[in-house]
Amino acid sequence: MPDARALPLDELVARARALAEAGPRQLLGIAGAPGAGKSTLAERIVAEVGATARLVPMDGFHLAQAELRRLGRDARKGAVDTFDVVGYVALLRRLRRLEPTSVWAPVFRRDLEEPVAGAIEVPPEVRLVVTEGNYLLLPTDPWDEVRSLLHEAWFLDLAAELRHRRLTARHEAYGRSPEQARAWALGSDETNAALVAGTAGHADLVVRLTEPPPG
């Protein structure tokens, strides 16, 4: 992975604002390993840019829990083959071409452990769409089309020890025992992190925040 640049949040916000001003609509992707702080950074970027920005996470394209069980993939939910990547790419295409009516995107509800369709409205006046997820920079088909649709892509780096602590706490918060949470963070999550680490070279910017976002 290329060396990460340590940057404060305000510099990243300024970069996102400049991207939004390039118009007519720009897509910014934030990639990184599980627990790196992608969703928190994306939320803060969108909040700072304001009403002309929207967050459309990749996680809305998780396969439903029933389908994961049917396919035998529920024990490794979050792996690369547990997402509807073709649906995600189709949505990014629609967002990029700036349709004259609102586009509706799904969201992943952690309290339900399920995706919910039609939960995020992206009206025509939105000039910056921020999308975040583990696999935005994967160079393999069909994921490779994601990178081609992003006007700019960042890779968020975070020390492994801190990522593991954050992931363990997250899994506990959603009902796993401490032992189960640690096993998931160091097992399935870490397998996914190893795959994601190799994609950093496809980013425009590899960044380590000077103040990592909270877990």
pLDDT tier at 212, thresholds 50, 70, 90: low
In a domain, 18, yes or no: yes
Q: Does residue 215 belong to any structural domain of this protein?
A: no
User: Which H helix or E strand runs over 32?
Assistant: strand 26-32
Assess if residue 183 is contained within a domain: yes
> With bands split at pLDDT 50, 70 and 90, how would you rate the model's confidence at 161?
confident
Classify 34 as helix, strand or coil: coil
Contact yes or no for 129/25 (Cβ under 8 A): yes
Q: How many domains does the chain have?
A: 1
Residues 30-86: tens digit of each pLDDT: 999 888 889 999 999 999 999 999 999 999 999 999 999 999 999 888 899 999 999
Round to the nearest angstrom and report the end-to-end CA distance of the chain. 23
Q: What is the mean pLDDT of the chain?
A: 89
Q: Which residue has the higher pLDDT, 133 or 212?
A: 133
What pLDDT shows up at residue 180? 62
Is the residue at 213 inside a domain? no
Q: What is the pLDDT of residue 11?
A: 94
**CATH no. for residue 129?**
3.40.50.300
185 located within any domain: yes
Query: Residue 150 domain-assigned?
Result: yes
The predicted model scores a pTM of 0.88
pLDDT value at residue 165: 75
Q: For residue 196, what are the domain limits?
A: 5-208
**What is each CA distance from 79 to 33, 65, 110, 194, 196, in whole angstroms?**
11, 13, 16, 11, 11
Work out the pLDDT band at 7, boundaries 50, 70, 90. Answer: confident
The string of pLDDT tens digits covering residues 178-188 is: 676 565 555 56
Q: What's residue 47's pLDDT?
A: 97
What is the Cα gyration radius of the chain? 17
DSSP string, 42-89: HHHHHHHH-TTEEE--GGGGBPPHHHHHHHT-GGGTTSGGGB-HHHHH
What local confidence, expressed as pLDDT, does residue 34 receive?
Answer: 87
